[in-house]
Amino acid sequence: MTQPAGVAAPIATFFAAVGFAALAICGFGFTSLVTDTDVIAAPGLGQGAGIAAMLLAAGAFAGAEYGAVRRGRYPAAVWVMIATVAGYLAGIVLGGVLTGADAALALGAAGTFSLSWFALVLAVNAAAASWAGIALGRTRARRPEWPWERSDEDE
C-alpha cells in the first residue's frame, strides 16, 4: 500500500499558522524590548486594535498559506507575507474604529506601524513560517518505524 506524498494541506497550513502566530508574538515582544517602543504606539487606540490586527493577520496568513501549500511552490511565500502584513494593517484600522477610536488615529497608527521594525519582524516571520508550511506539505517523509513494522514491499 502506498502512502500519499507529503502532509495534507490543511494540516500543514494549521501547523504553519500556529508557528507564525507564536513567532510573531515572540518577535514583537523582543523587538519591543530592544527598541523600548510599543508595537502600536498610538495613545487612545486601546488594545482592541492589536487584538484585531493579530487575528486578521493570522486569518490572512492561513488563507494564503493554504493556497501556497496546495501549489507547493516556495515563491508563494512572498504572497503569503504580503497578505499577512496587509491583514495586520487592516486589523489595526478596523480594530481601532470598532473600539471607538477616531478613524484618522487608527489609520495613522497603521501607517506608523508599517514604517517600524515591527512590520519587518512580522514580514520575516510570515515568510519563514510560510516557507516551513510549504516544505511540510512537500515532504516525502513518513512516520518512524521499527524494523519489524516494515512490510516486505518496503525492503
For residue 20, count other CB atoms closer than 10 A to its CB.
26
User: Given this model, what pLDDT does residue 125 score?
Assistant: 97
Domain regions of the chain by residue span: 9-140
Nearest CA to 121 among 34, 41, 17? 34
Q: What is the largest CA-CA distance in the chain?
A: 69
* Residue whose C-alpha cell reads 512537500 in the numeric block: 138
pLDDT 10s digit of each residue in the chain, 155 long?
334 467 899 999 999 999 999 999 999 999 999 999 999 988 888 889 999 999 999 999 999 999 999 999 999 999 999 999 999 999 999 999 999 889 999 999 999 999 999 999 999 999 999 999 999 999 877 777 788 877 766 55
pLDDT at residue 58, as a whole number: 97
So what's the pLDDT on residue 67?
95
Q: Using an 8 Å Cβ cutoff, are 126 and 61 in contact?
A: yes
Instruction: State the Cα–Cα distance between residues 12 and 2, nearest whole angstrom.
Output: 20
98 Cβ neighbours under 8 A, 6+ residues apart = 48, 52
The reported pLDDT for the residue numbered 2 is: 39
**Residue 146: predicted pLDDT:** 82
Say if CB 31 and CB 117 are below 8 A apart.
yes
Please tell me the predicted confidence (pLDDT) of residue 53: 96
Q: What is the pTM of this model?
A: 0.86
